[in-house]
Structure formats: C-alpha cells, structure tokens
Structure 1
Amino acid sequence: MRREIFETVKLSIPIIIAQLGVILMGVTDNLMVGRFLGAVPLGASGLATSLSFLMTSIGFGGLGVVASLISQAKGQNNHAEIGRLFRAGLQVSVLMSIVLGLAGIVIGLSLDSFGQTTEVTRLAKPFMYYLSASTLPLLVFVAARQLTDGLSYTRVAMFVTVSALCFNALVNWVLINGIWIFPKMGLNGAAIGTLLSRIFMATSLLLYIFKSNQFRRSLATARYNSNALVIRILKLTIPVGFQFFFEVAAFSLAVVMIGWLGELQLAAHQIAINLASTTYMMATGIASAGAIRVGRAYGEQDFHKVRSAGSAAFLLVAVFMGVWCITFLTANDFLVSLYLKDNPEVKQIAATLMIYAGFFQLSDGIQATGLGTLRGLTDVNVPTVITLIAYWVISLPLSYLLAFTFHMDVEGIWIALSAGLTFSAVFLTIRFYRILHKRRKAAPTSAV
C-alpha cells in the first residue's frame, strides 16, 4: 500500500500540474477579464466558458478511457495494440470535435433564449463561437495525451500545458488591452487567446510524440486501424463522456439559473466556481493516475495490486481535498479579492459561496476518483447511471427548489450541487469495491 501511494503520487504530480494548467487558462481569462473589463464581462465570459465546457466535457472526459486501455495494453506488453489505440483515439477526437463544435455554435446562436441580461448575452455570443472553434485542437491534444499518460510519461503533457499557459497569459494581455501593433479587442481578445493556446498545445504534443524515440516502437507496429477499434473506443468514450457531461451540465445549468437571479450573483458564482474548478481539475489528476495504475494492474490480472492502487488514490484525494477545504474556509476573502479590485457586494456574495465550495471539496474529489478507478476497470455504464441520478435527479431539481421556492438565492443552488456530489461520491466508491470483489472471484486462481 505504501509503495502504491508513492507510485500514485509520482505519477499524479505531473498530471495534476497539466490539469491545473488547463483550468488555469480559464482562471487567467477570468482574472484578466475581471481586472481589466469588470463584473459584467466576467459574468459573460463565465457563462460562455461554462456552456462551452458543457459540450467539450463529453470528449474531454470520454477520451480519458483511452489512457486506461493503453495502460492495460502496457500491462500485457502489447505494443501494437498501444499504437492502434493511439491512432484510433485521434480519429475519435476528430469525430467528436466536429459534432461538439457544431453543438457549441448552436448554443451560441440560442443564447437569447437563456434568460440572461441583454449585455451578458451580447458579450457571451462571440466568446462562445471562438471557444467552439477551439474544440478541435483541444480534443486532439486530449487524445494525444492519452498515449503519454497511459505509458506513464506524464511529464510530457505537463511541460506542454505549462508552456501553453504562459503563452495564453501573454496573448490575453496583448489582445485584451491592445498592446503594440495589436488592436484592443476586450473580451474577444481573451477568447482568441484561448483558441491560439489550444492550437499550440495540440501541435506541440503531436510533434513530440512523432519525433520521440519513446513511442516509435508502438507507432511503427500499428500504422493502420480497423473501424472495429474506433467503434470500440466510441462505445467506451461516450458513456464516460456522459459521466462528465451530467456533472458539467448540472453546473452549467446552475449558471443559467444564477443568471436569472442577477448579474451580481452570476459574477460572484463565477469567482467561486472558478476556484472550485481549479481544485477539482487537480483532483482529476489523482483520479487519472489511479485509473492508469488500476488499468495496469488489471491488465496484469493482479487483483491485489488493483485494490491497492484504487485505495491509494482514494486516500490521496481525501487528504489533498481536505487541505483545500480548510484553505477555502479560512482564506475565502483573500481568494475573492484576487478577482475584483472593487464591487464589495459581489465580493461578499463570492466569499460566502467559497464556504460552500470548501465543504464540498471532499465529495468532489472522491467522486472524481471513483470514476477514475472504475474507468481503469473499464466499468462505464453503471457509473454513468449514478452520475445521471446525482446531478439530474438530485442536484438540478433541488437547485430550483431551494433557490426559487424557498428563496435561498444562490446559496440554495450551491447546497443542491453539494448534495449531488456527495451522493455520487458515496455510490461510486461502493461500486469500485463491489465490482473489484466480483471480478476477483470470477478470475482464475492464478490471477488472484
């Protein structure tokens, strides 16, 4: 168990940094938009970002299963299968990008019907279109990353993402404010910065993979894919993608409901959810490491190692998110002040929401790890049902009930979201240990 904790930490740190880099691009956008343009553009960018991520989450989350499959193939020492999975994953990412990018554009065209204020809608529309255009490079990067992460070369994506984060901050500053020969583009400058940064990420990672000797053996032994493998990956990625979709959709629709409450609540929510999303993406780094370790052990049919890898991931995420829980509860005012120079009313609302964000840190991290460890076992259907119930049967109806029927305002929505996260955390954890027990009993004696 101690060795599994060490190996999971070693594997997860670069993934956490890479995940943090991805979400920090959104944080950078929001920090600069809030500082340079004010609360209303901040709310508009938050709305567009939430709705765009709602679409891309299906691909972003679903493609993660490819790393588990590659890890299993590595456990079986099947290099040809690793290469085929990588190429099929890229094909799936392109197919998903076309569908999800078009869906994002349709949502952008329909923003008038979302009940937001006129100014928020006007600003959010073009932002949404730019983000939809960036779906292709984002998902190609995510698909390529499954090869490096699945083979435990997690530092590769980390370096690419950190470089892209610096590039994004520079381009944002230049395009928002109009530096040197570049025009002042305001909010749209932040969106273009995100698009260019995602192109940078995809291009850099693909160049590294095809030029590096580390992956040459796997790529050389599998130059062509069968349609059957693409279909197999789609059958796994779509349920896993919808696990993420159900959660992200609940949070995105919560943004819409909060927009009905007012611009101040929307801006405050964006600050709090931005910070909570940062810790969540870091927790998914531990979850991804857990999925890779579980997948490798499952490929070797070593069920004792599977249990140790899963338990190590759960323990690590509980400690990690516990630290962030305490941070959010004790430093809420300071964290909020990073986003806005003035507007005390928004600051007060956001500081209160940070307390709720602190309390659901543990549930959020554990449910992410539950999904990751089950993904390592290629168990995707039942977890999808659990997430559907958690967010669409519990969180969303309860959000409307508490916010509008019981007049608890934005705080009621956050309580409801916490309830869904807790339900998901409990039942996904139970599911992992139950299915592990069943598969261990069903395995040949030599595998146990």
Structure 2
Amino acid sequence: MKKFIQTYRPEIADTLRLSIPIVIAQLGVVLMGVTDNLFVGRLLGAVPLGAAGLATSLSFLVSCIGVGGLAVVATLVSQAHGRNDSTAIGRLFRAGLWVAGLLSVVLGGISVVVAYNFDRMGQSAEVAKLAGDFMLLLTVSILPLLVFVAARQLCDGLRYPRVAMAITLSALVLNAVFNYILIEGIGPFPAMGLMGSAMATLLSRGFMATAMLLYVYRADLFGEYVRKVVDTRPLTDEIWTILRLGIPGGLTFFFEVATFSLAVVMVGWLGEAQLAAHQIAINMASTTYMMATGISSAAAIRVGAAVGRGSQEGVRRAGIAAFVLSAGFMSLCALLFLTANDWLVSLYIRDNATVAAFAASLVIMAGFFQLSDGIQVVGVGSLRGLSDVNVPTVITLFSYWGVALPMSYVFAFPLGLNVVGVWVGLLAGLTIAAVLLTMRFFRRVRHINPTNVSDAQLAHSAY
C-alpha cells in the first residue's frame, strides 16, 4: 500500500489539478440553464417556466451529441502534444472548428423539427407554442456553443483548462444580467418576456465563442498552433478522424442523458409526488456526476498524452489515478447521501411529508450508485484517451437501454416497487457499464505495444 501511495500520489495530484478547472467550466454551462429557469419562474410564472424547462431539456439532449463528440479533439491534441507534433495540433484545431460547423447544421435541423412538433408531445397548446418558439431561438445558439466547445479543446488538450473556466464563469454572470434586462425590458431594451431568456442564452453563448477564439488567436501560448500555419493541405483526414471518433463518443453521452430523461417520463407515470421526489434526488446525483466528468476529461487528456509519448506504463498510471480519484470522491458523496439523506431533502422541501419520504429513500439509492456512476464515466474518458470509442458506445447502449430502462419498468410496475424500482434499474445499468468499461480499459492497456503506439492501433477495436 505504501508503495502504491508513493507511486500514484503525484499521478492523482496531477489529475486533480487538471480536472478542477474542467469541472467548474462544465458546471458553468449547466448552470446557465438553471439561471434561465430561475429568472423565468420568478418573473413570468409556472406555464412559461414549464415551456422553458421542456425546451431547454430537449435542446440539451440534441446538442449533447455535438458536445460529447467534440471532446475527442482534446484527446487527439494531447496525443499530438505527447509526440511534439505542433503541426498536427494546429490542423486538429482548425478541423475541430469545421466539425463544429457541420454538427451545428445537422443538430440544428433536428432541433427545428422538434421545435415544430411540441404539439405532438401531449403538451397544452400554450406550452407547445411557447416551448417551440423558445427552442427555435436556442437552435440558433447551437453554433456558438459548439464553436466554443471546439476551441476549448485546444486549451484543454494542451493542459490550459483555466481559460475555458474563466470564460464560462464570465458568461454565467452575463447570462443572468441579460435575463433580467431582456425579460423585464430595462432601459432602452424592450420587454421580451420568455423570448428574452432564450435571447440571453444566445448572447451568452456568442460571448463564449468570441472570447475563446480571440484568446486562442491572440495568446502567445497558442501562436505556433493557430497563427503560424505552415501546412495548408486540406483538412479532410482530420475532419474525418474527428467525426469517426467523435460521433460514437457523442452517442455515448446521448444514450446516458436520454436514459435519465426517459426515466423522468417513467416516474411521471407513477404520480406527482414521485416525480417531485425523483427531481430532488436526481439533482443531487447530477451535481456529483458533473464532478466525476471533470475527472473523466482529465483522464482522457492524460491518457492521450501518454499514448503520444508511446508509454504503456504512463497510460496505465494515468487511468488508475483517475479511477482511484473518482472512486474516492464518489465514495465520500455516497457516505453523505447515505447518512444525511433526510437533511439533504430538507434543503429542497419541508412542507410535503409524502414527497420528502419518497425523496429520502431515493437519495439513499443515489448513494448506492455513486461509485458505479463515477467509475463508468472515468472508464469512458480513459478509453477516449486511447481513441477507443466504438465498443464503449455499444457497452453504454446495452447497459442503459438494454438493461437500465427495461429493469426500471419491470421493477417499478410489474413488481410494484414504485419509484424505487426505477432507481434499481438505473443502478443495475450503471454498475454493468462500470464493470465492462473498466475491464475494457485494462484489456486495451495490455495490448499496447510500448515501443510503437500508433493512432491506427488505438483507433480500431478489433478485440
């Protein structure tokens, strides 16, 4: 144990340093949607809040394919950096921006189709109209969002994640200001009501994309990658590589997000009290999950850098450090959920004993699946560092849609476990994903040739 601690203490410390700014940046993006809902709910009421929440959730579900898909660029950049290949880094950066544009068109088209079909989702006419208009404006903001995500991959891949963190936090403040001004109509600005909140998101994302591009192109840190363009060949190969590796990664993210979205629908069939309790518990679990995603991103970057150096031992150590760090953090969260569940629920609700009772039991369930959730997301990130994305996509599809959702339905309805049954199914799916993804990572590490690690070897999963 002492030798293990001596060996992995610097590895874990480095992973932690890299992951903290990424966690803050990712939380900032999520909190923008929370900010929109807070302002809409307080200033406009329940119906606009419901419409905005519905549109925001579905817009995130669509755009997460692009956000998750572009994350592979940071891994490829870290691999190229490990090889000291500055030309490849510059080409990957430019190719990432092209892919962001392409995905914006495709995902924007899907978003428009959804926006014009809210009336087919069983919503009231007023909610369908408001949500459709809200989502159309959010559709426009997909482009600046993905441009920001693509540009930040250069910073993250080169281990400068604080850039995106600072820009995201600034945008979060601007989003709150824009919400207040545009919803209410302060000064020379007309009162836009609900559309003012959507416009605030568009303006905030536009700021994020502009600020990130300006920083990257003007900072001396990145000058050799973005200003000194010495390779003017077409970016076709890099664009195809990002799409080939990124689309499965984006779908992996989509499958997980969609699973929890469908679980909400399933809980809604059980009753309003169960739905409210589920929202309380899932909000807590989602917060801890976002912390683990930062560790996952750090794992992808550190594993990718070790791949670029051709270091099998470096790959193994980077992966183990991320697994240990995530397991330790999520175990502490689990302990909190299991021992302070009633107190945590009281922070959300105090005047409804039925909801509080349901929520307290679900927080205990959330405590049980903390470890599985943290391990599976780090498994995805570590495998992304190896450019292994196809098999993990199949694993997540099987775990979430083949196991979690069917089991959730069976335990909740035929077996009569109510809302707890839904969470039993989610726990089963997350656990299976964690086991299979972890096994996959260590199997891949054993097959790495430490003297000759090629992109082709890592990008294709033949076993």
Superposition TM-score, scaled by structure 1 size: 0.90
Please state if 1:291 is matched with 2:300: yes
Instruction: Identify the match of residue 156 of structure 1 among 157, 163, 183.
Output: 163
Shift of 1:163: 0.8
Aligned partner of 2:229 in structure 1 is: 221
Larger Rg over CA atoms: 2
Shift of 1:321: 1.8
Q: Give me the whole-angstrom Cα distance separating, in 2, the residues matched to 1:94 and 1:159.
A: 24
| Other structure's SS at 2:379 match | helix
Aligned partner of 1:73 in structure 2 is: 80
Please state if 1:170 is matched with 2:199: no
Instruction: Identify the match of residue 24 of structure 2 among 13, 17, 26.
Output: 17
Shift of 1:281: 2.0
- 1:101-128, CA deviations, whole angstroms, 9 ceiling, x for partnerless residues? 1112212222333345666545533333
Q: Give me the whole-angstrom Cα distance separating, in 1, the residues matched to 2:225 and 2:99.
A: 19
Stretch moving more, 430-439 or 116-125: 116-125
Contact residue 8 and residue 286 of structure 1 kept, 8 A: yes
- 1:183-234, CA deviations, whole angstroms, 9 ceiling, x for partnerless residues? 5555544333222221111111111001111111112135644212211211
Report percent identity of matched pairs: 60
Q: Amino acid of the residue matched to residue 411 of structure 1?
A: V
Output aligned runs, 1:13-412, within 5 Å: 13-33=20-40, 42-116=49-123, 121-176=128-183, 179=186, 182=189, 187-219=194-226, 220-222=228-230, 224=232, 225-262=234-271, 265-332=274-341, 349-412=358-421
Instruction: Identify the match of residue 2 of structure 1 among 9, 21, 35.
Output: 9
Contact residue 311 and residue 450 of structure 2 kept, 8 A: no
Q: Amino acid of the residue matched to residue 434 of structure 1?
A: R
Shift of 1:423: 1.1
C-alpha distance 348-23 of structure 1, shift in aligned 2 (>3 A):
farther
Contact residue 151 and residue 212 of structure 2 kept, 8 A: yes
| Other structure's SS at 1:153 match | coil
Q: Give me the whole-angstrom Cα distance separating, in 2, the residues matched to 1:412 and 1:38.
A: 33
C-alpha distance 85-137 of structure 1, shift in aligned 2 (>3 A):
same
C-alpha distance 26-443 of structure 1, shift in aligned 2 (>3 A):
same
Contact residue 272 and residue 357 of structure 1 kept, 8 A: yes
Q: Give me the whole-angstrom Cα distance separating, in 1, the residues matched to 2:129 and 2:270.
A: 18
C-alpha distance 335-137 of structure 1, shift in aligned 2 (>3 A):
farther
Q: Give me the whole-angstrom Cα distance separating, in 2, the residues matched to 1:129 and 1:265.
A: 31
Superposition TM-score, scaled by structure 2 size: 0.87
Q: Amino acid of the residue matched to residue 124 of structure 1?
A: A
Q: Amino acid of the residue matched to residue 426 of structure 1?
A: V
Stretch moving more, 330-339 or 411-420: 330-339
Stretch moving more, 82-91 or 255-264: 255-264
| Other structure's SS at 1:221 match | coil
Instruction: Kindly tell me the number of residue pairs found equivalent between the two proteins.
Output: 444
Contact residue 398 and residue 416 of structure 1 kept, 8 A: yes
Shift of 1:278: 2.5
Shift of 1:58: 1.0
Q: Amino acid of the residue matched to residue 389 of structure 2?
A: V
Q: Give me the whole-angstrom Cα distance separating, in 2, the residues matched to 1:266 and 1:384.
A: 29
Q: Amino acid of the residue matched to residue 121 of structure 2?
A: F
Shift of 1:433: 0.4
Structure 1 segments unaligned to the other structure (5+ residues): none
Contact residue 116 and residue 259 of structure 1 kept, 8 A: no
Shift of 1:129: 2.5
Shift of 1:322: 2.0
Stretch moving more, 199-208 or 111-120: 111-120
Stretch moving more, 262-271 or 54-63: 262-271
C-alpha distance 364-119 of structure 1, shift in aligned 2 (>3 A):
farther
- 1:334-359, CA deviations, whole angstroms, 9 ceiling, x for partnerless residues? 65566679777656554543333333
Contact residue 5 and residue 312 of structure 1 kept, 8 A: yes
Q: Amino acid of the residue matched to residue 356 of structure 1?
A: M
Contact residue 175 and residue 193 of structure 1 kept, 8 A: yes
Q: Which runs of 4+ in 1 moved over 6 A?
A: 340-344
Q: Give me the whole-angstrom Cα distance separating, in 2, the residues matched to 1:111 and 1:201.
A: 29
Q: Which is bigger in relative contact order (C-alpha 8 A, separation at least 6)?
A: 1
Stretch moving more, 306-315 or 348-357: 348-357
- 1:26-85, CA deviations, whole angstroms, 9 ceiling, x for partnerless residues? 333344455556666555444333322221111111111110100000001000000000
| Other structure's SS at 2:387 match | coil
C-alpha distance 334-121 of structure 1, shift in aligned 2 (>3 A):
farther
C-alpha distance 305-214 of structure 1, shift in aligned 2 (>3 A):
same
Q: Give me the whole-angstrom Cα distance separating, in 2, the residues matched to 1:401 and 1:44.
A: 31
Contact residue 35 and residue 341 of structure 1 kept, 8 A: no
| Other structure's SS at 2:156 match | helix
